[in-house]
Amino acid sequence: MAGRPVDHQRRAELLDAAVDYAADYGFSELSWRTVAAGLGVSPTTLVHHFGTRENLIQAVLARLRERTALATSELAGEQPDLATAARAMWAWASNPQRRAVFTLFFAVYGSALQAPAQYADFLEQAGAEVMDTLRRAQGSAADPGLATRRATVVMATIRGLLLDLLSSQDPAGVHEAAEYFFGVLEHRDL
């Protein structure tokens, strides 16, 4: 007997709610029962829409990536330069309202580094969309290899700054360091 078809709109709603739940309560709290209770649905509803807990986690991580890439692209504008795109990425990611989301991101990142086979998709895709935005910001005439290296430096620096911001007792100092980095991007070639 075939099960009922998945309502994709309802799945998307549940996924967005699960992302918000994970951001509020953390990665370790993503069990069927806790998420279902937090969303006001039954565990069976989650199983119907996602299949397995691992599928739910992968979907949550994919949606986080989508949100980050979309917001960064929108903030950077249509034809940003590298410094503008990097500044937009930082502005979005460092917003205190997103603290829980990036705390979740780094928790998952740590788990993925410890179990790379289980999180291969996450490790492969983590930042891929943002890297594309940072490469495009350098223009179509940029050497692809150099554009990738520059994008890697920018993304690694922003990740490091964001990790420092999340753990810092001096957030103003971290923001000053970020501004210094963006100034270097604006006035010097990486």
- pLDDT at residue number 77: 64
| Class in CATH terms, 8-187 | mainly alpha
Find out whether 159 and 174 touch, Cβ atoms under 8 Å: no
List the Cα angle 108/17/22 in 5-degree steps. 25
List the Cα angle 124/11/23 in 5-degree steps. 60
Residue ranges in the chain assigned as alpha helix (H): 8-25, 32-39, 43-50, 53-76, 82-93, 99-114, 120-125, 128-136, 144-167, 171-187
Query: Average pLDDT of 128-149?
Result: 90
- Per-residue CA distances from 175 to 64, 82, 96, 164, 181 (Å): 23, 18, 12, 10, 10
Confidence check: pLDDT of 165 > 80: yes
3-state secondary structure 101-119: HHHHHHHHHHHHHHCCCCC
Q: Is 139 left (phi over 0), alpha (psi -120 to 50) or beta?
A: left
- Percent of the chain having pLDDT more than 90? 42
Comparing 52 with 6, the larger pLDDT belongs to 52
**pTM summary value:** 0.77
Name the nearest CA neighbour of 119 among 23, 52, 22, 54. Answer: 54
